[in-house]
Amino acid sequence: MPKPLFAAPLLLLTLAPFAASAAPLAPTIIGGEQSPQGAYPWMAAVVVHGGNAYLTQYCGATLIHPRWALTAAHCFLDLNGHLNPQLAVDLVIGRSDLWYGSDGVRVESVGAQIYPGFSLYTMDGDLALVELAQPVTSQGVLRLLGPSAIDGTLPAAGSSALALGWGDTNISSLVESYPSSLYQVTLPVVASQVCGPTVAGLPITDNMLCAGLAAGGKDTCQGDSGGPLLVQGERGEWLQAGITSFGEGCAEPNEYGVYTRVANFTSWISDTICSSEERPAATQLNVTLSGNHATATLPAASGANGYRLYYAPWPQMSPVGFIDLYEQTSFAIDLPAGSGWYAAVMPYNDNCLGPLSNIETIQVP
């Protein structure tokens, strides 16, 4: 069903910074497939307040806390091309079909927190947090790929990622055919040197990541902005690695989609959306060595539903890596003889982060 043109003003204004390079009303998820119903209960559509969910959807978002959704900053551009955190929008959460469906929940936004470092001219820091009028507890929350201590390296190039969005699925058709149901496409993450140094004339910064195929044919596109680029954790769970931000055209050969690198913003997000009661208390890391066998234990932190173990080689302290311990409070590993390490642990309560523990130094004999 073609989306009537009165949905166009909002779509066009999201294009404003790229008017010279992107075709107006270009299609959205290209080369993908329909998402299985109910697979992404925290996936949200940003729609005009009070408007029809299908006809006025213009961005994607994700529920990352019962009261907050994550989207792109440029989804809060108003009709004058100004950022307006008070833009009157609703979020439709957990409904795969925006026309035929009535599942999921629709909530009004009470305003957005646009990332203070966002620049419309560079597109750096393209993220915003949408505050909901009522908490939504029926959809679960999507966890973010963290943590911010590992700036610029997550997700690794070569990771397989999944983008979600609503919109035209046919780039070559003159008449856009916007699906009412959610679409998904699998895309490899590529190194910034592969897609850069610039995309659509904008430098690729450490706060951005690229995904796509050299051959083209698979991509996100206008209207998918604000939606997630997902990777899978050790237990197969979805983690948000990116936010659809911009590109040069869509699905073209040797061009890649550009996404906000979520891992660089997890501290700002936690600070903005979490009350002090929602943040876990501190924990203490104890490491014991028996030969080259290291055992890390920590007392459970109150309010935590998981822990991340950070590690870095001694003495240079870089690069920093991490292991998600999930709910486990002990962890054992065989380390190479003669190696040295730093380790510390950060408790989390979904996307609310606790303080970093003491840093342990480990010298393997």
Residue numbers of the site for ligand ARG (CB under 6 A)?
Answer: 14, 219-225, 244, 246-247, 250, 257
DSSP conformation letters of 244-298: EEE-SSSS-TT--EEEEEGGGGHHHHHHHH--TTTSPPP---EEEEETTEEEEE-
Q: Which residues pair with 232 in a beta bridge?
A: 238
How far apart are CB 328 and ligand ARG at their closest, in Å? 37
Q: What is the residue type of 190?
A: V
- Which residue lies nearer to ligand ARG by CB, 22 or 273? 22
Q: What is the DSSP letter of 234?
A: T
How far apart are CB 205 and ligand ARG at their closest, in Å? 16
Please state, in angstroms and rounded to a whole number, the distance separating the CA atoms of residues 252 and 153: 26
Q: Write down the residue that tokens 């902005």 correspond to.
A: 225
Q: What is the residue type of 232?
A: Q
- Residues annotated catalytic, as ranges: 74, 126, 225
Q: Are 72 and 245 in contact (CB under 8 A)?
A: yes
Tokens of 183: 């679409």
- Which residue lies nearer to ligand ARG by CB, 141 or 250? 250
How far apart are CB 13 and ligand ARG at their closest, in Å? 9
Task: Quote the longest CA-to-CA distance of the chain.
Answer: 70
- Which residue lies nearer to ligand ARG by CB, 210 or 296? 210
- Which residue lies nearer to ligand ARG by CB, 139 or 222? 222
Name which of 295, 169, 269, 296 is nearest 220 in CA terms: 169
How far apart are CB 271 and ligand ARG at their closest, in Å? 26
